[in-house]
C-alpha cells in the first residue's frame, strides 16, 4: 500500500505480504540453513537415518538426501530452492545431493556473517564466483583418469556410493551387480562411451534375502501369460514385439450391418475368425514363438496362439517394449503385415515365474543385451526400498565415471585440498572479495567436519590434523577415516568418487547461494480463501 495525497493506494492484491531488505535476507538465509541442517547428520558412512511419515501414515526410513528433501514438502520459497537444487543434482549425476545442500547452506551461513560486516551481497557473490572458478580449475588437476576396463576401480566407486546406506553387509555384492549392469548397457557413440540408467530396469519384490538380489541378462515384464493353454517356459525364444492389437479393428464411425439370413451371420463371424487366424499365422511365419503386445489380444487370437505353442503377453508398457527391443534385438512393429523374420529378436529363455504374490515373465540369457534388469529381494519392504535407493546411487556413479572417465578421492580429502588452494588464491585477489573467497574455503571444510561430527569424533582435532596433512606435498588424497578416527590416505582405502559429481555439486551450491543472497524483496501472493462448508465446487466449462 502506498500513500499519495493522503489517500491509500492498493498496489498488491489484498492479503498479499511483502518483506524487504535485511528482513527478507534473514528469512531466506534462515530457511535455507534449516534445510541444510536437516540433512547434515546423514552425511558419510556413520550418518544417521531419518524417519519420514507422510500425510497418510506411510513410513520412509532413509539417509538419502534426495529422498528426505522430496518427502518433507518444504513451503518457504528459499527452502524450495534448496530442495530443487538437490533434485537437479540427483537427476543430473545421481549422487552428491547431501553434499550440495550442506555446501550451499554453509555458504549462506558464512555470507550472513559478511552481511553483518556491511559487505554487499553483490561483492559476496562475485567472490564466490571467483572461488568457484579456481576450485573447478583445481578439481581438474586433482581428477584421476579411470579405464572402462578397470572393473575393480569401478566396483570401488560403487561401493563408496553405498557406504553411507543401510545395506552394509551386502554392499560388495550389489556394487558388483551395478558395475556389470552398467558395462552391459554401455555403448560407443561418436568415439565416446555412453550409458543410460533408464536402460537398467530395477524390480523390487519383498521376500527371501538381499543376498539373493540378481542381475537378469534381459528383462522382467510385470505381466503374466494371457492364456493358461500357452507354454510357461520357452527355450531359444524368438521374440516379436507388436505395437498393434491382435484384434479385429472397430470402425471409427457408427455403422450398422443388416443381416437377413442366418448364413450371413455365420459368414460374418467366420470372416472375423479367419482374420484373427491370419494374424496368428503371420506371427508363426515370422518364426516367433513369444509375442509381447503393447495393446489387446482377442480371446480367439489367444486360442490360436496357444494352439501353435506361442507365448503371448498383452498390455506391455511402452517403456518395457523399448527395453525389450534393446535386450533382444527385436524391432517394435506397428503393423502386423510388416512382421517378418528380420524384425524378430532372440532370448535364451522366456519363462513365467511367481515372485511373491505376483506372476512375472522373465526374458533371460539374451545374447548381447543393451538393456538389463536387476531383481532386488529383501525380507522387509522398507529394506528393499532402501536397497533400491542405494543401488540407484551406485548405478549413477558408475555411469558418471563411464561417461566422464575421471575420479577424485573421498573422505573430505578433495574439499580439504580445494580449501587449501583457495586460501592461497584469496591473498592474490585482495579487497573485500578476498574475504568471500576465504569464506568459501571455510565452507568447503564443512564436508570433512560433518563427516567427523557424524562419526562421533572431535571436529576441531580432525580439522587441525587434516589441514596439517594437506600441507605436505603428497597430502592431496588424505581424508577422514570415520572408522578409525584418523587421517589416512583415501587412495589406499579405495574411497573414490566421480569427479563430475564434485564439479556439479560445487557449481550448483554457488548458483543457489548466489540466487538467495541477491534477493532483497519477497512478495507473496494472497492465498485463495478456503471453500465454505457444504459449498459446491465452481462449474468448469
Q: Which of 97, 99, 155, 439 is catalytic?
A: 97
The answer for residues whose C-beta is within 8 angstroms of residue 31's C-beta and 6 or more apart is 74, 76, 77, 78, 79, 82
The answer for residues whose C-beta is within 8 angstroms of residue 419's C-beta and 6 or more apart is 441, 442, 444, 445
DSSP secondary structure, 397-425, as one string: HHHHHHHH-EEEETTTHHHHHHHHHHHHH
Q: Cell numbers 548381447 correspond to what residue?
A: 368
d(CA 95, CA 501): 7
Specify which residues 293 forms β-bridges with.
242
How far is residue 69 CA from its own chain's centroid?
Answer: 14
Catalytic annotation present for 153: no
Q: Cell numbers 510385470 correspond to what residue?
A: 222
Please give, one letter per residue, the 3-state secondary structure of 287-301.
Answer: CCCEEEECCCECHHH
d(CA 108, CA 422): 18
Q: Which of 199, 320, 393, 400 is catalytic?
A: 393
Q: What percent helix, strand, coil does the chain show, rounded to 5?
A: 50, 20, 30
The helix (H) or strand (E) run that includes residue 126 is: helix 121-142
Catalytic annotation present for 393: yes
Helices (H) and strands (E) in the chain, counts: 17, 23
Q: Which of 42, 60, 62, 64 is catalytic?
A: 64
Name the residue among 491, 493, 474 with its Cα closest to residue 482.
493
d(CA 321, CA 327): 10
8 Å CB contact between 409 and 491: yes
Number of neighbours of residue 486 by Cβ within 10 angstroms = 11
Catalytic annotation present for 98: yes
Read off φ and ψ for residue 6, nearest 5 degrees: 80, 0
C-alpha distances in Å from residue 535, one per residue of 312, 527, 539, 540, 541: 51, 18, 12, 15, 18
The grid cell for 447 is 564436508
d(CA 408, CA 393): 17
Q: Which of 42, 62, 98, 328 is catalytic?
A: 98
C-alpha distances in Å from residue 447, one per residue of 119, 186, 453, 495: 25, 32, 10, 15
Q: Among all residues, which ones are annotated catalytic?
A: 64, 97-98, 393
Amino acid at each position: 500500500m502506498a500513500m499519495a495525497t493522503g489517500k491509500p493506494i492498493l498496489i498488491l492484491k489484498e492479503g498479499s505480504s511483502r518483506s524487504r531488505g535485511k528482513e527478507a535476507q534473514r528469512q531466506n538465509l534462515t530457511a535455507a540453513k534449516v534445510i541444510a541442517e536437516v540433512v547434515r547428520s546423514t552425511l558419510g558412512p556413520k550418518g544417521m537415518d531419518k524417519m519420514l511419515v507422510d500425510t497418510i501414515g506411510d513410513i520412509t526410513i532413509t539417509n538419502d538426501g534426495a529422498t528426505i528433501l522430496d518427502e518433507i514438502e518444504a513451503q518457504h520459497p528459499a527452502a524450495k530452492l534448496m530442495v530443487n537444487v538437490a533434485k537437479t543434482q540427483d537427476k543430473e549425476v545421481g549422487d552428491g545431493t547431501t553434499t550440495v545442500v550442506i555446501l550451499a547452506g554453509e555458504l549462506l551461513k558464512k555470507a550472513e556473517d559478511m552481511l553483518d560486516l556491511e559487505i554487499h551481497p553483490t561483492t559476496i557473490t562475485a567472490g564466490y564466483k571467483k572461488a568457484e572458478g579456481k576450485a573447478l580449475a583445481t578439481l581438474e588437476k586433482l581428477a584421476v583418469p579411470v579405464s572402462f576396463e578397470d572393473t575393480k576401480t569401478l566396483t570401488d566407486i560403487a561401493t563408496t556410493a553405498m557406504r553411507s546406506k543401510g545395506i552394509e553387509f551386502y554392499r560388495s555384492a550389489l556394487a558388483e551387480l551395478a558395475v556389470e549392469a552398467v558395462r552391459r548397457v554401455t555403448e560407443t557413440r561418436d568415439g565416446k562411451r555412453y550409458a543410460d540408467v533408464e536402460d537398467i530396469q530395477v524390480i523390487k519384490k519383498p521376500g527371501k534375502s538381499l543376498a539373493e538380489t540378481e542381475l537378469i541378462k534381459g528383462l522382467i515384464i510385470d505381466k503374466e501369460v494371457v492364456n493358461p493353454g500357452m507354454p510357461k517356459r520357452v527355450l531359444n525364444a524368438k521374440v516379436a514385439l507388436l505395437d498393434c492389437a491382435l484384434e479385429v479393428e472397430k470402425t471409427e464411425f457408427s455403422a450398422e450391418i443388416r443381416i437377413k439370413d442366418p448364413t450371413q451371420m455365420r459368414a460374418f463371424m467366420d470372416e472375423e475368425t479367419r482374420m484373427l487366424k491370419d494374424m496368428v499365422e503371420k506371427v508363426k511365419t515370422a518364426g516367433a514363438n513369444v509375442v509381447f503386445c503393447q495393446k489387446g489380444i482377442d480371446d480367439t487370437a489367444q486360442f490360436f496362439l496357444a494352439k501353435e505353442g506361442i507365448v503371448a503377453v498383452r498390455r506391455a508398457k511402452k517403456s518395457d517394449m523399448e527395453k525389450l527391443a534393446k535386450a533382444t534385438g527385436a524391432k517394435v512393429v506397428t503393423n502386423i503385415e510388416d512382421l517378418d523374420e528380420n524384425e524378430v529378436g532372440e532370448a535364451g529363455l522366456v519363462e513365467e515365474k511367481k515372485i511373491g504374490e505376483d506372476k512375472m515373465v522373465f526374458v533371460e540369457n539374451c545374447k548381447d543385451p543393451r538393456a538389463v534388469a536387476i531383481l532386488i529381494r529383501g525380507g522387509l519392504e522398507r529394506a528393499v526400498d532402501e536397497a533400491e535407493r542405494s543401488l540407484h546411487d551406485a548405478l549413477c556413479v558408475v555411469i558418471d565415471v563411464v561417461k566422464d572417465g575421471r575420479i577424485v578421492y573421498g573422505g573430505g580429502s578433495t574439499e580439504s585440498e580445494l580449501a587449501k588452494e583457495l586460501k592461497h588464491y584469496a591473498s592474490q585477489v585482495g579487497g573485500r572479495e578476498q574475504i568471500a573467497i576465504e569464506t568459501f574455503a571455510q565452507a568447503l571444510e564443512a564436508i570433512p567436519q560433518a563427516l567427523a561430527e557424524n562419526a562421533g569424533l572431535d571436529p576441531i582435532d580432525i580439522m587441525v590434523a587434516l589441514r596439517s596433512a594437506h600441507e605436505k606435498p603428497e597430502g592431496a588424497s588424505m581424508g577422514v577415516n570415520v572408522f578409525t578416527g584418523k587421517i589416512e590416505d583415501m587412495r589406499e582405502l579405495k574411497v573414490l568418487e566421480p569427479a563430475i559429481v564434485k564439479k556439479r555439486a560445487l557449481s550448483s551450491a554457488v548458483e543457489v547461494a548466489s540466487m538467495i543472497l541477491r534477493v532483497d524483496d519477497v512478495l507473496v501472493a494472497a492465498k485463495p480463501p478456503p471453500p465454505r462448508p457444504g459449498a459446491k465446487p465452481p462449474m468448469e466449462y
